[in-house]
Structure 1
Amino acid sequence: MNTSSKVALVTGATRGIGRETVRQLAENGVHTLLAGRNREKAVEAALELQAQGLPVEAIALDVTDAASIAAAAQEIERRYGRLDILVNNAGVMLDEIGKSVSEQSLDTWRRTFDTNVFGLVAVTQAFLPLLHRAPSARIVNVSSLLGSLALHAQPGSPIYDFKVPAYNVSKSAVNAWTVQLAYELRDSRIKVNTIHPGYVKTDMNGGEGEIEIADGARTGVRLALIGEDGPQGGYFYMDQVLPW
């Protein structure tokens, strides 16, 4: 590969918004690593994008497995020596529809947080040394409008009656982590932001949604490619700043 090009890693990228994020970054000339828990699925997805002439490679990475994260970080360090873009996209929604907030099992909460919060933090911690080696690195945390505490507490808001508690609270935690990390990185060359991709037609919501997957990836790609004058520690949907 051309070592002067940017190197990006997108987690949870074998399908949906993650895979489309890989596509759009690669279309912008970024050498993009398509990460998935299942190496075979990651390779299959990467080969399809390579067949379109895009600079994409597969990498195995399970965000809930410390050994898998460490192996991926070591592989990227060995091959590229740095990481320019990290898109923390991997996520799950495990709440049992029909159960109230207080009825969701503790196991549901734990498994949701293992992927959506602890996995995201673990991946970020593992790759921060490589991000610091890049000239101007970017971290994009894929959250959701459902993580907005302000809107959940506001009667009549678009999400006021949409209580999927474990998922929602995990995304609130992602937003809070982003703010804390942005403070740590405020004087560095790394910018970190969190995004709402939109109500996208994906497998996670059974194909329901208001926008196509291509549109759902655009906010994350935009934040991944911002310049030095771009935001730090923000919460966005397209060009709109969202309420925490």
Structure 2
Amino acid sequence: MRTALITGANRSIGFETARQLGRGGYRVWLGSRDPEKGAAAADRLRGEGIDATALSIDVTDPDSVTSAAATVRERVGSLNLLINNAGIAGASAAAPSAQPLEDVRAVFDTNVFAPIRVTQAFLPLLKASDHAAVVMVSSGLGSLGWLSDPEHPFHRINLLGYNSSKTALNAVTVAFARELSASGIKVNSVDPGYTATDFNGHTGYRTVEQAAAGIVWLATLGSDGPSGRFYFEQQEVPW
């Protein structure tokens, strides 16, 4: 059975991604910072007939990530799919000139440094599988092409911490894709779109089902699929 780990999977897009992968035959590990919420989410999926296991992991804590990787290694020995989904918007929506540096640093810690940390920790397990992929859940607000286009709707959204963190995550995607191409591990970024979740007070126009479908599509492409690319709705997005 193919195995997937999704961080931030106890609710919203991460949870629905786990559900769709589980329905597709994957054994899913639900990464969650809160063990109780993770266990409850896994119970819900098991109630639907999905092979789901809660995994306690705080992506900003090196010891927690190391422990989580050890747990998966002891239980299954390999990993086919890693989806770095956990992310934050930041506490401040101030103009770039006024956003506190501490807030920007916190956003980068979760949105950039954590995916690097998690990918590095689980890389031996990915290399131990016959076919592996890593998906970074980014945002269209990380596309410099879209943000710099006055005709694009995202041009007016100027969030220093969040936008630049997703741009940085895209650069991280390219770096891992280049290194891991020789190992056959695909690494791509995906924009789930403006989705109605707790993340944005449910103001998004897309459903979690739509958002997760794009992630699952990219995550489950065959061994001849692309690597080092950025997608939204199965269409390539400019960096």
Aligned to 1:87: 83
Q: Which residue of 1 aligns with 2:224?
A: 229
Asked if 1:110 corresponds to 2:105, the answer is yes
1:30 aligns with 2:26: yes
TM-score by length of 2: 0.98
Aligned to 1:163: 158
Please state if 1:197 is matched with 2:192: yes
SS in 2 for 1:141: strand
For structure 2, which runs of at least 5 residues remain unmatched after alignment?
A: none
Aligned-partner Cα distance in 2 for 1:7–1:239: 23
One-letter amino acid of the counterpart of residue 218, structure 1: A
1:69 aligns with 2:65: yes
Give the whole-Å Cα distance in 2 for the aligned partners of 1:138 and 1:75.
20
The TM-score with structure 1 as length reference comes to 0.96
Q: Partner amino acid for 1:76?
A: V
- 1:132 aligned to which of 123, 127, 133: 127
2:45 equivalent among 43, 49, 65: 49
The whole-number CA distance in structure 1 between the counterparts of 2:206 and 2:145 is 23
Q: Deviations over 1:150-187 (max 9, x none)?
A: 11111121200011110100000010000111110122
2:210 matches 1:212: no
Distance 1:100 1:199 in 2: 21
Inter-partner Cα distance in structure 2 for 1:27 and 1:16: 17
Q: Amino acid of the residue matched to residue 78 of structure 1?
A: E
User: What residue identity is the alignment partner of 1:184?
Assistant: E
- The 5 Å alignment of 1:143-158 reads 143-158=138-153
Q: d(CA) in 2 for partners of 1:39 and 1:150?
A: 39
Count of equivalent residues = 239
Distance (whole Å) between structure 2 residues aligned to residue 195 and residue 77 of structure 1:
27
CA offset digits 1:71-128 (Å, max 9, x no partner):
000011111111110000000001423x211100011011101100001100000001
Letter in 2 for 1:79: R
Q: 1: CA distance between counterparts of 2:20 and 2:60? A: 26
SS at match of 2:156: coil
Structure 1, unpaired ranges of 5+ = none
Check conservation: 2:38, 2:54, Cα contact below 8 A: yes
Whether the aligned pair in 1 keeps the contact of 2:218 and 2:234 (CA below 8 Å) is: no
- Runs of 4+ in structure 1 over 4 Å off: none
Distance 1:103 1:31 in 2: 45
Q: Which residue of 1 aligns with 2:178?
A: 183
Once residues 129 and 218 of structure 1 are traced to their aligned partners in structure 2, the CA distance between those partners, rounded to angstroms, is 27
Name the SS of the counterpart of 2:4 in structure 1: strand
Task: Report the AA paired with residue 240 of structure 1.
Answer: Q
Moved more, 218-227 or 135-144: 218-227
Q: CA RMSD in A?
A: 0.8
Give the conservation status (yes or no) of the 8 Å contact 1:140–1:192.
yes
